[in-house]
């Protein structure tokens, strides 16, 4: 199943992609909350599954054409975005750092999230003038997870999506920590949809690429994650409760702009594409 949130910014509604249509979940179930996060929190997910299973069998659910609406971030309002630093060996090597023995956690403000075709808006040059992009596999949590074991971790996953951990390097390295550089408005392109874990299968072995215009910047594979998805969920859930809808951005492979010689940063007018196998593409114009 592919899950989207569609509509105007701040007013997205949950939907399920079926063919070239989006089933409008909130319209189909009056009284339900109009957000994936709250549907998950209220344990309505099994009803979504049966609703969608029935949709192809003479069901008559309200829908809109996929191409006719704006897609937002699939979870526009998570309680948190947990991001992982230095989680690909090649990315640690390109900055001459030892891979961390336990996952290195940092946070991005949920307010940075944008949809899969929304523009990335560069801050004024005097605020941040070294903006970079990072292609990432993003895990979406489906059920509350606290102190879970590695072998139980995937049972808490709803699915997977693509993420661009847009990063202001001047702020990231100029400050003593990363929160500001990682959290400028629009620095969290996500989507285009969540592919449920049943549909996607094993999240290791997925190719993960980024392009700036026609230039391929990153060509990685999730099989090279140092701490894999079950390990990340187990570790994070020992530090803090993972809530339904929370996002874990699992880290980026080598090839980012700041570690190139010479360094390169995003320019206005460039289109950034993040391509994740079995999920799809994020395509965001830099303004």
Give the interface with Mn ion as residue ranges (CB under 5 A): 134, 165, 252
User: DSSP 3-state assignment of 146?
Assistant: coil
* Closest to Mn ion by CB, 161 or 252: 252
CA dist., res. 61 & res. 218, Å (int): 41
Residue 78 Cβ vs Mn ion, minimum distance, rounded to whole Å? 16
15 or 220: CB nearest Mn ion? 220
Q: Compute the least distance from the CB of residue 136 to Mn ion, in Å.
A: 6
Q: Write down the least CB distance from residue 224 to Mn ion, Å.
A: 14
Chain Cα centroid distance, residue 37: 14
Written as six digits, the tokens of 132 are: 């970079």
- Pick between residue 4 and residue 138 the one whose CB is nearest to Mn ion: 138
Minimum Å gap between C-beta 134 and Mn ion is 4
Q: How far is the CB of 83 from Mn ion (least distance, A)?
A: 5
**Nearer to Mn ion by C-beta: 83 or 286?**
83
Beta bridge partners of 120: 286
CB of 228 to Mn ion, least distance (A): 16
Q: Burial-class residue 180 by CB neighbours within 10 Å (0-12, 13-18, 19+).
A: middle
CB nearer Mn ion, residue 2 or residue 273: 273
Contact 131, 166 (CB under 8 A): yes
Gyration radius (Cα) of the chain, Å: 18
Whichever of 13 and 108 has its CB closer to Mn ion, that residue is 108
Which residue's C-beta sits nearest to Mn ion? 165
| Shortest Å distance, C-beta 91 to Mn ion | 9
- Give the CA distances from residue 141 to residues 1, 175, 232, 233, 280, in Å, rounded to whole numbers and listed in that order: 15, 30, 12, 9, 19
CA dist list (Å): 55 to 49, 107, 193, 286: 10, 38, 19, 38
Structure tokens at 184: 């400028």
The nearer residue to Mn ion, 24 or 134, going by C-beta atoms, is 134
What's the sign of the alpha-carbon dihedral 106, 112, 115, 121?
Answer: negative
If DSSP codes are grouped into helix, strand and coil, which group holds residue 77? coil
């Amino acid at each position: 199943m592919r899950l989207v949130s569609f509509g105007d910014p701040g007013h997205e509604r949950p939907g399920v992609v079926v063919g070239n249509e989006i089933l409008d979940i909130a319209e189909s179930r009056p009284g339900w909350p109009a957000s994936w996060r709250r549907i998950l929190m209220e344990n309505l997910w099994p009803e979504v599954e049966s609703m969608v299973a029935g949709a192809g069998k003479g069901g008559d659910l309200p829908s809109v054409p996929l191409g006719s609406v704006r897609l937002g971030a699939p979870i526009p309002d998570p309680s948190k975005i947990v991001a992982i630093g230095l989680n690909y060996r090649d990315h640690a090597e390109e900055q001459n750092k030892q891979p961390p023995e336990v996952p290195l956690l940092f946070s991005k403000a949920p307010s940075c999230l944008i949809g899969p075709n929304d523009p990335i808006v560069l801050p004024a040059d005097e605020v941040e003038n070294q903006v970079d992009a990072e292609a990432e596999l993003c895990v979406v949590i489906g059920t509350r997870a606290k102190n879970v074991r590695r072998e139980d971790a995937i049972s808490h996953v709803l699915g997977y999506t693509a993420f661009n951990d847009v990063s202001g390097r001047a702020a990231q390295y100029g400050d003593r920590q990363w929160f500001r550089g990682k959290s400028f408005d629009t620095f969290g392109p996500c989507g285009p949809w969540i592919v449920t874990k049943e549909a996607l299968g094993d999240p290791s072995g997925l190719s993960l690429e980024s392009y700036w215009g026609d230039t391929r910047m990153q060509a990685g594979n999730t099989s090279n994650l140092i701490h894999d998805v079950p390990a990340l969920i187990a570790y994070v859930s020992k530090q803090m409760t993972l809530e339904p809808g929370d996002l874990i951005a699992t880290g980026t492979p080598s090839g980012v702009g700041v570690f190139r010689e010479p360094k390169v940063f995003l320019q206005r007018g460039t289109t950034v594409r993040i391509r994740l196998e079995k999920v799809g593409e994020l395509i965001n114009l830099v303004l």
